[in-house]
Amino acid sequence: MAAMLKIGFASPTVEKTGTLVLFVGSDLEVSAATRKLIGTAGVGTVKRALSAEKFKGKERAVLVIPAPQGFDVDRLVIVGVGNDDEQEKADYVRLGGVIASTLGSANAAAVLLDGPPKWRTDAEAAADIALGMRLRHYRFDKYKAKKRDANDSDKADHPITVTIHVEDPVAAKRVIRARDAVGTGVELARDLVNEPPNVLDPVEFAKRAKELEKLGVEITILDEKQLTKIGMRALLGVGQGSEKESRVVIMRWNGAKAKKGSKAQPVAFIGKGVVFDTGGISIKPAQGMEDMKGDMAGAACVVGLMHALAARKAKVNVVGAIGLVENMPDGNAQRPGDIVTSLSGQTIEIINTDAEGRLVLGDVLWYVNETYKPSFMIDLATLTGAILIALGQEYAGLFSNDDTLAERLHAAGQATGEGVWRMPLGAAYDKMIDSKFADMKNTGGRFGGSITAAQFLKRFVGDTPWAHLDIAGTAMSSPETDINKSWASGWGVRLLDRLVADYYEDRD
């Protein structure tokens, strides 16, 4: 959804404007640039307001002051940035979200990126603030006939022009291009997850992914005939009770500088795209089943990520692959007790048709590994309810056969606020999915449900470095945060974009 914010950058000379946003640390000092701008009388007004409201400059605390007569602006917004330590570790994206929430009915706002000494005022910080403002303003209301409340900036639909005043606006304008690529990628992922399941079936989802062609992403859509020929029977078994045809979409972005003779090995991202999960014959209870429209959040993240990487022309070769199916009960649906032969040749006994995500991913992981020989594979899936029991909605579960990859994901999580928590894998867990009748079964019982699901996937990745992110808790039914008010969070796009940027792109 297009935000109603128009964000630009300019030098620290601030024009007359509606709302002026300033930053104050816990020492409550007014910075030099701010002093220059609002003058001695202005500083007096601010100081009086700070003390009257007992404002302590705490991180993300906000004070809105209607400007007295004689001021060029209508409102002053003071945003707390905390003490030295907090300033050094500040999350500028999150802060952008906080700022966006203070704009009220303003039509124009100026943000003066200045503050205490430890406070960053560089182009990256400015662009991060802009990204946070934009993500905060995201709404999914295309199916609402009624209009929004114009006096609540969290709901406003009037255009707001924001200017971020920064030392080097030219540099900020350069950095914002990459941030906008990521912002659009997050919004795309949120849109896909929020869409209702009668609109977003596998065919429509594939069509939306195909739009990435405009950015230079190569798209291959495999239909049921091709999937049958390839032998993805585990994936097809999940979709066999649905009227809707299954699809696998392969997205390729080749941004690495071509090296002489050899093509640089790609990295690969794989997403679970169950467009609706009824559970199949092992049908789910009615309560909350509507949430299962979000069971394609892994696939949505991969599409959002491919958008981000292509739009910012990331210098890396990437394969994105998504398995799109609908899990329905039907006279032709898969049964508990069925045995299917996966693409890998390994046979699977279906114990519970509601453990369908692993069946989809097993085939796609195997296919990607064999076809593209990637240097690593990361899959994302709303795979288990058990991960919500283990980690709540704070962290995604991380399972990996490679410590370096796991550590890098952890670092990217810390940097973006999209945190991952590593969970164990091991032979004892693996044994829990051995089957009496086939090579494995698709559930391992109630205990350690997220772990046995990950062990299942591990049987399809060979020796390739691999990480599995169980995002059932982080991608949907999201608690509101400073940068997201929507049901879908778009979780993972910023994390994986950061992972790629920090570790896998060619350097100039």
- For residue 14, which amino acid is it? V
Q: Rounded to an integer, what distance in angstroms lies between the CA atom of residue 474 and that of residue 230?
A: 33
The nearest distance, CB 279 to ligand BES, in angstroms, is: 6
Type and span of the H or E element at 501 = helix 493-503
- x-or-dash string of contact with Mn ion, 126-145, rule CB under 5 A: --------------------
Which one of the spans 203-211, 276-284, 455-463, 475-483 is the region binding Zn ion (CB under 5 A)?
276-284
326 binds Zn ion (CB under 5 A): no
- Residue 107 contact among ligand BES, Zn ion, Mn ion, none, beta carbon within 5 to 8 Å by kind: none
Where would I find the H helices in 260-402? Answer: 297-311, 357-372, 386-391
- For residue 508, which amino acid is it? D
Give yes or no for a contact between 9 and 164, defined as CB atoms under 8 angstroms apart. Answer: yes
295 binds ligand BES (CB under 6 A): yes
Give yes or no for a contact between 9 and 166, defined as CB atoms under 8 angstroms apart. Answer: yes
* Phi/psi-derived region of residue 462, left when phi > 0, alpha when psi is between -120 and 50, beta in every other case: left
Give yes or no for a contact between 64 and 77, defined as CB atoms under 8 angstroms apart. Answer: yes
- Residue 385 contact among Zn ion, ligand BES, Mn ion, none, beta carbon within 5 to 8 Å by kind: ligand BES
What residues numbered 260-279 form the site for ligand BES, per CB under 6 A?
A: 277
Which one of the spans 38-46, 255-263, 349-357, 392-400 is the region binding ligand BES (CB under 6 A)?
349-357
Residue 29 CB coordination number (10 Å): 15
- Residue 128 contact among Mn ion, Zn ion, ligand BES, none, beta carbon within 5 to 8 Å by kind: none
Tokens 């602006």 correspond to 73
**CA-angle at 480, arms to 113 and 308, nearest 5°:** 65
- Residue 384 contact among Zn ion, ligand BES, Mn ion, none, beta carbon within 5 to 8 Å by kind: ligand BES
277 binds Mn ion (CB under 5 A): yes
- Residue 45 contact among Mn ion, ligand BES, Zn ion, none, beta carbon within 5 to 8 Å by kind: none
Measured from the CB atom, is 45 or 353 closer to ligand BES?
353
Residue numbers annotated as active site = 284, 358
What residues numbered 386-415 form the site for ligand BES, per CB under 6 A?
A: 386
Measured from the CB atom, is 238 or 318 closer to Zn ion?
238
Q: Rounded to an integer, what distance in angstroms lies between the CA atom of residue 351 and that of residue 336?
A: 5
The residue at minimum Cβ distance from Zn ion is 277
The residue at minimum Cβ distance from Mn ion is 354
- Residue 280 contact among ligand BES, Zn ion, Mn ion, none, beta carbon within 5 to 8 Å by kind: none
Measured from the CB atom, is 34 or 353 closer to ligand BES?
353
- For every residue of 150-193, DSSP letters joined together read TT-TTT--S-EEEEEE-S-HHHHHHHHHHHHHHHHHHHHHHHHH
Give yes or no for a contact between 254 and 316, defined as CB atoms under 8 angstroms apart. Answer: no
Which one of the spans 144-152, 183-191, 353-361, 481-489 is the region binding ligand BES (CB under 6 A)?
353-361
Tell me the torsion sign for CA atoms 160, 166, 171, 175: negative
191 binds Zn ion (CB under 5 A): no
Q: Rounded to an integer, what distance in angstroms lies between the CA atom of residue 188 and that of residue 201?
A: 16
Number of residues interacting with ligand BES: please give it, by CB under 6 A: 14
379 binds Zn ion (CB under 5 A): no
Residue 314 per-residue DSSP state:
-
Using CB under 6 A, pick the residue from 240, 317, 344, 384 that binds ligand BES: 384
356 binds ligand BES (CB under 6 A): yes
Give yes or no for a contact between 316 and 255, defined as CB atoms under 8 angstroms apart. Answer: yes
The nearest distance, CB 479 to Zn ion, in angstroms, is: 21
What residues numbered 74-93 form the site for Zn ion, per CB under 5 A?
A: none
Measured from the CB atom, is 355 or 364 closer to ligand BES?
355
**Starting at the edge strand that comes first in sequence, how are the strands of the sheet with 440-441 ordered?**
339-341, 347-349, 440-441
449 binds ligand BES (CB under 6 A): yes
Tell me the torsion sign for CA atoms 496, 498, 504, 505: positive
295 binds Zn ion (CB under 5 A): yes
Chain positions contacting Zn ion, by CB under 5 A: 274, 277, 295, 357
By CB under 5 A, name the binding residues for Mn ion.
277, 354, 356
Binding site for ligand BES (CB under 6 A): 277, 295, 352, 354-357, 382, 384-386, 443, 449, 472
